[in-house]
Amino acid sequence: MSEIYDVAVIGAGVVGAAIARALSRYRGSFVVVEKGHDVGTAASGRNSGVIHAGINCLPNTLRARFCMEGRALLQDWCEELNVPYSICGKLVVARVPEEIAGLEKLVANGVANGVPDLRIVSPAEAAALQPGIECVAALHVPTSGIVSPYALTIAMAEDAAVNGVQFLLGAEVTGIEPEKDAFAMVTSRGTIRAHRLINSAGIHAGRVARMLDPEAPEVYPCAGEYLILDRQVGERMKMSVYPAPRVANAGLGVHITPTTEGNILLGPSSEYADDPETVCCTRDVTDRLIDEARVLWPDLPEHLVIGAYAGVRSKLTAPGIGGFSDFTFRTTPGIQRAVHLLGIESPGLTAAPSLARHVLDEFTLPDRAFESKPPEELRLRRWPDRFDELPEAEKVRLVEEHSDHGDIVCRCEGVTKREILHAVDNPLGVRTLSGIKFRSRASMGRCGGGYCLPRIVEILQEERDWSPDDFVLRGPASPAFAGRLLEEQHA
């Protein structure tokens, strides 16, 4: 390509997608370069989906600042984009009296960060707020919330795309050459040039930064395993439940977190890994997740586990060394207009919109080089309401209007044929089964796609002319099938 973009963003996780959305409000040529075949395929799609209140961030850090700024902006963006979220609150639970001091520390922390309405409550009050939890005392955090992390990432990215930001998926950056007045990124899909660069490559941000700046620090992968419980039990958790902190900076312990879709998550664990690509769930850790969660929730229905996943945090603190590290925006003297976002772990999701604003204001566009688009020029792409969640009268009306809404494809989650087709016709051009899953919700239910996969195969062959080789799980390297069983013989 001979074109030189105004700004290139490396990495389309939740932060890259937020940056893309913020960029799309300006006139200019912008590109997001992402090694996965969809957005949000790494940590952004494998976390707890929490809108943090700010009680866990050390005061006077960037983490605290962007958490508090971000959480307000995040809710605004979710409203604009129709992304599911809920300020359901959280209980941090002390199981023994010795842990109450830890709750008080969190209160002090929270107050210093400006978190309102924190109260340490009695077991009776805790039970009234969240039945079924065992404790001697609990900290109620009413401003904590949950959000669908993959819906948020996809919605922001697709909104950016319909407003002119280009997304180059399946493009891994393997080298960056500074040229006069631009950067040339060598990728697996050709060389991309841009005048300004934002590195939001998450777990790979250190490696990408060192392509320009050999002194850039290492980013260490730290895995977190999760278990997912059947939606059937979702109503039992009205809010997140966390154990009181035992040791400072040792991760957050095993949480019980409801999701916006009605599932319940157990986790994450926390252990450093060697290779982020091979991080996966293990027997030992998932057994421990259940054992530890059961301490908080004695009636935990273990037989209703329907799935597991593992995400990878980006840590700037090395294994065995520990300590605290803040969000890092690294620039290099002599290299203008390139900024690397390093160590964006929790509360990165909560902070994403404000991180995006900050990066543009302070690093990428401080010179106000680009004109803002007037509101009438902006198109809004909203995350669609889920058919299954609509009132019955609305469902009836929609089925009359679009007959494909009468054909339920994913019976566990009530996803219709029309929703499947809408998911595959997305503006990013994502054509993976995983892409359909995260956009439509199909196959995220208890049967794990056993029922809907064959129907999705039928629909896409019939309606979009796919052949068996077109079905891939996450990209060309993960084909679902091995071609057709029978081919026509031409005698």
Partner 1 sequence: MNERQMTCILCPNGCEIDVRWTGTPTDETIRVEGNLCPRGVGFALEELTHPKRTLTTSVLVRGGVEPQASVKTAAPIPRESIEMARREVARVTLDAPVAIGQIVLVDAAGTGVPVAVTRAVPRRATERSAD
Partner 2 sequence: MPESKRCTDVVVIGGGPAGLAAASAAADAGAEVVLVDRNPRLGGILNQCIHDGFGLHAFGEVLTGPEFAERCVARAVEAGVDLRPDTMVAELTPDRVLVCTSPGSRTRLEAPSVVLAMGCRERTRGMLRIPGTRPSGVYTAGTAQWLTNMANVRVGRRVLILGSGDIGLIMARRLTWEGAEVVGVVELLPYPSGLPRNISQCLDDYGIPLHLSHSVTCIHGTDRLKRVTVARFDDNRRPIPGTEFDIACDTLLLSVGLIPENELSRRAGVVLERTTSGARVDDRYMTNVDGIFSCGNVLHIHDLADWAAEEGARAGRHAAEYAAGAAPSDRLDLIPIEPGPGIRYTLPQAATRTAKRLLVSFRVVEPSDDRTAEVVAGDRVLASLTLRHAHPATMAQVEVDCGDGLDVDRLEVRLR
Torsion angle of C-alpha atoms 191, 344, 296, 294, degrees rounded to 10: 30
Interaction residues for partner 2, span 227-246 (CB under 8 A): 227-228, 232
Q: Max alpha carbon distance in the chain (Å)?
A: 82
Spatial distance between the Cα atoms of 333 and 342, rounded to a whole number of angstroms: 17
Establish if 2 lies at the interface with partner 1 (CB under 8 A). Answer: no
How many chain residues are in contact with partner 2, going by CB under 8 A? 57
Binding characters for partner 1, 345-384, by CB under 8 A (x = yes): ----------------------------------------
Binding characters for partner 2, 381-400, by CB under 8 A (x = yes): -----------xx-xx--xx
Spatial distance between the Cα atoms of 221 and 343, rounded to a whole number of angstroms: 10
Interaction residues for partner 2, span 275-334 (CB under 8 A): 277-278, 280-283, 286, 305-309
Establish if 482 lies at the interface with partner 1 (CB under 8 A). Answer: no
Q: In the annotation, is 52 catalytic?
A: yes
Interacting residue with partner 1 among 284, 400, 463, 469 (CB under 8 A): 463
Establish if 403 lies at the interface with partner 1 (CB under 8 A). Answer: yes
Q: Structure tokens of 121? A: 């409550």
Q: Structure tokens of 221? A: 């992968």
How many chain residues are in contact with partner 1, going by CB under 8 A? 12
Interacting residue with partner 1 among 65, 337, 418, 431 (CB under 8 A): 418
Please check whether residue 279 is in contact with residue 272, taking contact to mean a CB–CB distance below 8 angstroms.
Answer: no
Spatial distance between the Cα atoms of 352 and 77, rounded to a whole number of angstroms: 11
Q: What minimum distance in Å lies between the beta carbon of 127 and partner 1?
A: 50
Taking CB within 5 to 8 Å according to partner kind, which of partner 2, partner 1, none is near residue 367?
A: none
Interacting residue with partner 1 among 404, 449, 451, 470 (CB under 8 A): 404
**Which of 30, 68, 221, 52 is CA-nearest to residue 149?**
52
State in Å, rounded, how far the first CA of the chain is from the last one: 46
Taking CB within 5 to 8 Å according to partner kind, which of partner 2, partner 1, none is near residue 464?
A: none
Q: What minimum distance in Å lies between the beta carbon of 280 and partner 2?
A: 4
CA distances (Å), origin 358, targets 23, 34, 273, 362: 12, 21, 31, 6
Computed from CA positions of residues 251, 339, 158, 378, in that sequence, does the dihedral angle turn out positive or negative? positive
Spatial distance between the Cα atoms of 228 and 47, rounded to a whole number of angstroms: 12
List Cβ neighbours of 367 (8 Å cut-off, separation of 6 or more): none
Q: What minimum distance in Å lies between the beta carbon of 47 and partner 2?
A: 16
Place of tokens 């990013």: 428
Catalytic residue IDs: 52
Question: Given the rule CB under 8 A, which residues bind partner 1?
Answer: 402-404, 417-418, 462-463, 485-489
Question: Given the rule CB under 8 A, which residues bind partner 2?
Answer: 227-228, 232, 277-278, 280-283, 286, 305-309, 392-393, 395-396, 399-400, 403-404, 406-408, 411-412, 414, 417, 433, 446-451, 453-454, 457-458, 461, 468, 472-475, 477-486
